[in-house]
Structure 1
Amino acid sequence: MTQAKGQHVSKPEFIALMAMMFATIAFSIDAMLAALPAIAADIAPGGVDQAAWIMTAFLIGMGVGTFFTGPISDAYGRKPVVYVGLAVYAVGAVLAWVAPSLELVLAARVLQGLGAAGPRVVSAAIIRDLYVGRAMASILSLTMMVFLLVPAIAPLIGALITDAFGWRAIFPAFLIFGAMIFVWFGTRMSETLAPADRRPLRIGLMADAVRQMFAHPTVRLSIMVQTLMLMILFSILTMVQPIFEVSFDRAESFPLWFGAIALASGVSSLLNAAIVGRFGMRRLVTWALLAQLVVSTTFVLWMMADLPGLFAFYIFWQWGVMFQGGLTVANLNAIAMEPMGHIAGMAASVIGAVSTVLGAALASPIATLFDGTPMPLVATVLIACLLASVMMQMMRRAEVAAA
């Protein structure tokens, strides 16, 4: 890690802070999961499916904000973008807290997502400012571990708050979370982008940066695979609560099951951080996808044969999908960021915006396929991993050809 002037955070503290900034997204989504039935009963006459738009609206705002925060941070520095993003996030949380209708809550959630893009994108850019190559992948893996661990406690926190104070009280929890990041980041981190390295905020330069990224076959394919991985994650987030409630009649214990799965899957990020230096990012992503293809194919056949033990297999399968996330998302991000160090902020924005917006857009219609069984979700993961595996082979051939 190349210390910026005045930088005084240790490596463990740096990882913890970057992970906290990453986790803004996970906490803002997962804390709402257990509250969906209460939201539906209060302001969503269309039921839980309509209430789930509270998560989709946040993702839309985050996706839009993600595209702009990177180039702005390239022009004006990393810290101002984090401050403004957290301020917008706080305003969105307050508006959602007091909004009298679902439509206004959704609008506020879009604003909240727009603000959350600031810490999310800038954290990736800061990591790229200070690290390169497999070291960057290792740091991203450790931050991703927290991203995966947050779902272990967020639904339970949301459930406890909802039971004690009502679902609207979740939004003050978001305010507290954002304030903690604001103070920690503001007092402990120095600016990592020197004035001499900043790029003016010009449309021509932004367009040129985007052209550079999509002209690079490895970057282009990495973004496409990351999109599929996020589509899987968003599909699970929108369908997991109905699956536990309708398919397995376990609505009350859902936060505990979901938390246990997330805790267990967090091991994958630790594993990735430990072995990525030896095996490399592309190889680990490829292996994880192939393993998921085997497990998901077996699960589809299991359901088609109507064999016993469906709930146990589903728990194992969902753990496997989230375990796969720890071995893929951070590595794919590192693969795409590696050649783009000269435009790290812009690269982080484009990667985040394209993968998030397209991932959420692809996941939305999948949620409507829910038929009371896990089959649509499992089949979606199977198809996505198959396509991603093909793209990873294309990436390998492109790298060999370029060598």
Structure 2
Amino acid sequence: MSQVESPRRASAGLLFLLGGLAALGALSTNIMLPSFPAIAQALQADAQGMGLILSSFFITFALGQLLVGPLADTFGRKPLVLGGLLVFVIGSALCGLAESLPVLLAGRVVQALGVCAVSVLARAIARDLFDGEALAKVLVFTMVIMASAPGFSPLIGGLLDTAFGWRAAFVFVGALSVLVGGLYVVRVGETLPWIMRSPISLGMVARGYLGLLGDWRFTRPALAVGLVIGALYAFFASAPGVLMGQLGLSALQLGVFFALTVLVVFAAGLLSPRLVHRFGAAKVMPAGAGLALLGALLLMAWAHSLTLLSFSLAMTVFLFGMGLANPVGTAVALQPFPRQAGLASALIGFLQMGMAAVASSLALSLPQLASVSLAQVLALATGAALVLFLLPAAREKVAPVAS
């Protein structure tokens, strides 16, 4: 390995930078949630149009990653990271200046095209720099930040909306991406040596993706993590309808609720490496999915007589389980493929955002109470993830995670 694997580079600054790269996509979506009523009024958009603001981003994000992964394995990480951040800034500016829903949707598509590269390559950079136990620990921390950002972002979005209006959120994420890009240039730079780069052709890319999908070591954890992340985004999409529509919370109170969920994700992230070190990934992954399923079933039981306390309890159980299963499953999927880190990371991201698009759209479109729709989607996704995690791991070899 190169010198970037040294303790100096494995600092808290590097870990937060990787987490920031991974979290930028989720941040740029959830920061808008408190502003949805204001955006709908300003742009005269109906519920279906507002749903497109989310689904257009997720679909573009999912498909764009499939191209970014192989390009990064051929040309290196740095051009794709910096190019992606530049495209994201352009998309954010387009969103912030939008005077109609079609222009806002176009800006969201451009945002997604840019930020999908950043999210994919955060995982690939981690795979470039670290291996085995170190890789799993870095991915745990990165995924904790990635899952925590959506918790803080609605509170930030609510404050920005109250003080400056809904367009301020796009100014904020654009400025943040410039800061992240500067830190990346100074602290990380290129991490893929020339000797590790692969030639690119359409046939090779197709064979690479098909090879990964046909490898049970990748498919089992990657699909399961995709389902868990899909459930998480269904929660994000449905929470305003549950908390504001059913329970009467304000936009600011919604932001505070999301911010408090970060504590749950952090707790799971801190506990996850210790549990894997003691019990092994093969037990921690299904345990996490099982807890997430339990949270969904609790919500289903309480959905028709929901209170803030019962919703909070059900979502705490779900988020804690998600926080255990997600980073460990991601590390398990990436570990066997050091020479295909970009490709594997892109396919994981595609599965995650594809599931997010399906799950969030389904949760918002079912003709029933928001809490009932959310509970059904969460139960379906986490139940399927649990089945995958419980299936035999075949010849999979998982490095333990140090405490």
> 8 Å contact 1:221–1:395 — kept in the other structure?
no
Cα deviation, residue 150, structure 1 = 1.7
Cα deviation, residue 205, structure 1 = 1.8
| Unaligned runs of at least 5 residues, structure 1 | none
Cα deviation, residue 283, structure 1 = 1.6
SS in 1 for 2:263: helix
> 8 Å contact 1:234–1:363 — kept in the other structure?
yes
- Whole-Å Cα distance in 2 between the matches of residues 338 and 399 of structure 1? 10
SS in 2 for 1:89: helix
Tell me whether 1:293 sits opposite 2:290 in the alignment.
Answer: no
Counterpart mapping for 1:122-271 below 5 A: 122-252=121-251, 253-271=253-271
- Whole-Å Cα distance in 2 between the matches of residues 90 and 187 of structure 1? 19
* 1:160/1:5 CA distance change after superposition, 3 Å: closer
SS in 1 for 2:249: coil
Residue of structure 2 in register with 1:18 after alignment? 18
Please give the per-residue CA displacement for 1:109-167, whole angstroms capped at 9, x wherever unaligned: 01101100121111100111122234322111111221222223211111111112110
- Whole-Å Cα distance in 2 between the matches of residues 117 and 323 of structure 1? 26
Residue of structure 1 in register with 2:350 after alignment? 353
The one of 320, 342, 354 equivalent to 1:323 is: 320
Cα deviation, residue 60, structure 1 = 2.1
Cα deviation, residue 387, structure 1 = 1.5
| Unaligned runs of at least 5 residues, structure 2 | 398-403
> 8 Å contact 1:230–1:360 — kept in the other structure?
no
Q: For residue 380 of structure 1, what is the amino acid of its counterpart? A: V
Coordinate RMSD, CA, aligned: 2.2
Between 261-270 and 223-232, the greater mean CA deviation after superposition: 261-270
Cα deviation, residue 7, structure 1 = 9.9
- Whole-Å Cα distance in 2 between the matches of residues 183 and 244 of structure 1? 38
- Whole-Å Cα distance in 2 between the matches of residues 299 and 171 of structure 1? 33
- Whole-Å Cα distance in 2 between the matches of residues 145 and 370 of structure 1? 33
TM-score by length of 1: 0.92
Between 150-159 and 167-176, the greater mean CA deviation after superposition: 150-159
Residue of structure 1 in register with 2:380 after alignment? 383
* 1:364/1:373 CA distance change after superposition, 3 Å: closer
| Matched residue count | 396
SS in 2 for 1:339: coil
Q: For residue 238 of structure 1, what is the amino acid of its counterpart? A: A
Between 242-251 and 386-395, the greater mean CA deviation after superposition: 386-395
Residue of structure 2 in register with 1:107 after alignment? 106
SS in 2 for 1:374: helix
The one of 295, 313, 318 equivalent to 2:310 is: 313
- Whole-Å Cα distance in 2 between the matches of residues 303 and 4 of structure 1? 50
* 1:140/1:6 CA distance change after superposition, 3 Å: closer
Tell me whether 1:392 sits opposite 2:386 in the alignment.
Answer: no
- Whole-Å Cα distance in 1 between the matches of residues 181 and 307 of structure 2? 44
What percentage of aligned pairs have identical amino acids? 26
- Whole-Å Cα distance in 2 between the matches of residues 385 and 149 of structure 1? 19
Cα deviation, residue 275, structure 1 = 3.1
Cα deviation, residue 373, structure 1 = 4.4
Residue of structure 1 in register with 2:119 after alignment? 120
> 8 Å contact 1:219–1:336 — kept in the other structure?
yes
- Whole-Å Cα distance in 2 between the matches of residues 399 and 83 of structure 1? 35
Residue of structure 2 in register with 1:340 after alignment? 337
Residue of structure 2 in register with 1:89 after alignment? 88
Cα deviation, residue 223, structure 1 = 2.1
* 1:2/1:34 CA distance change after superposition, 3 Å: same
Cα deviation, residue 219, structure 1 = 1.0
* 1:278/1:7 CA distance change after superposition, 3 Å: closer
Residue of structure 1 in register with 2:41 after alignment? 41
- Whole-Å Cα distance in 2 between the matches of residues 332 and 89 of structure 1? 28
Cα deviation, residue 169, structure 1 = 1.6
Q: For residue 271 of structure 1, what is the amino acid of its counterpart? A: L
Residue of structure 2 in register with 1:70 after alignment? 69
> 8 Å contact 1:2–1:131 — kept in the other structure?
no
Please give the per-residue CA displacement for 1:277-325, whole angstroms capped at 9, x wherever unaligned: 3333232110112223334334423446x5xx73211111112222222
Residue of structure 2 in register with 1:368 after alignment? 365
Cα deviation, residue 38, structure 1 = 0.7
- Whole-Å Cα distance in 2 between the matches of residues 362 and 246 of structure 1? 20
Cα deviation, residue 209, structure 1 = 1.2
> 8 Å contact 1:289–1:385 — kept in the other structure?
yes
TM-score by length of 2: 0.92
* 1:347/1:303 CA distance change after superposition, 3 Å: closer
